[in-house]
Structure 1
Amino acid sequence: MARAEDRSGATWCALALAGALPGFALAIALSGLFAWLGPGGMAPLNKYQFNMWIVPPLWLGICSAVFMFRSALRAWAWLGGATAVAGAMVFAIRHLSG
């Protein structure tokens, strides 16, 4: 396991970008999953507002957790894969239920 003092500035920058770019897309996809699969489906009126406000805490959590990865490559791979899976799930749910 890499120690914190072994990380260069480039690694920190790559980890931060992994949290910012695929992390944001993952937060959006998770919000979409809650919108479609949560209580009441897309029918409740206030659900849109909740989904809008849930994205920043999700994104900040992902941005914070990204520094637990051993390398930037692992962070990009895991977050990219999770984003692809969550996005595919939103796409499938949206088209199968509507």
Structure 2
Amino acid sequence: MTSTPLSSKNWFPKASAGLVLGLGLSLALVGIVGLLCHTNGDPRSPASQYLMWLVAPVWTAVLGGCFMFRTGWRAWGVLGAINILLWGVYMGLRSVIS
């Protein structure tokens, strides 16, 4: 197996995967944390404020990390699989907790 060095030639597919799928991933993660912490939907509560402001750093971390993938297709595939997994966990927890 030959190792190819990381390059910036596929920056658009990687960045678009980080933008689109990174948002979905961060929303799913915040939803899971909200369900586990029994946060209500009141936007004035401190827990809801914390979760609302947690979306941006998670999304930024995913967007920064998406450039570590070798290709744009791999970024889309891995982030898509993580999205499916996290949204499945969210739906399962929501059906059990609610």
Fold conserved between structures, TM > 0.5 = yes
* 1:20 correspondence with 2:19: yes
Write the distance in 2 (CA, Å) between the matches of 1:72 and 1:14. Answer: 5
Q: In the alignment, which residue of structure 2 is the partner of 1:2?
A: 4
Write the distance in 1 (CA, Å) between the matches of 2:46 and 2:66. Answer: 31
Report the alpha carbon displacement of residue 37 of structure 1 after superposing the two structures with TM.
1.6
Give the length in aligned residue pairs. 93
Q: In the alignment, which residue of structure 1 is the partner of 2:39?
A: 42
Aligned partner letter, 1:37:
L
SS at match of 1:18: helix
Cα root mean square deviation, aligned? 1.6
Aligned partner letter, 2:54:
I
Task: Give runs of ≥4 in structure 1 deviating > 4 Å.
Answer: none
Instruction: Please say which of residues 52-61 and 29-38 is displaced more in the overlay.
Output: 29-38
**CA distances 1:7-49 after superposition (whole Å, capped 9, x unpaired):** 42xx1100000000011100000111111123xx225x32111
Report the alpha carbon displacement of residue 2 of structure 1 after superposing the two structures with TM.
3.2
Aligned partner letter, 2:32:
L
In percent, how many aligned pairs have the same letter?
28
Q: In the alignment, which residue of structure 1 is the partner of 2:64?
A: 64
Aligned partner letter, 2:83:
T
Please state which structure has a larger fraction of its residues in helix: 1
The runs of 5 or more residues in structure 2 that have no matched partner are: none
Write the distance in 2 (CA, Å) between the matches of 1:64 and 1:2. Answer: 20
Write the distance in 1 (CA, Å) between the matches of 2:47 and 2:27. Answer: 14
Tell me the TM-score normalized by structure 1: 0.86
The runs of 5 or more residues in structure 1 that have no matched partner are: none
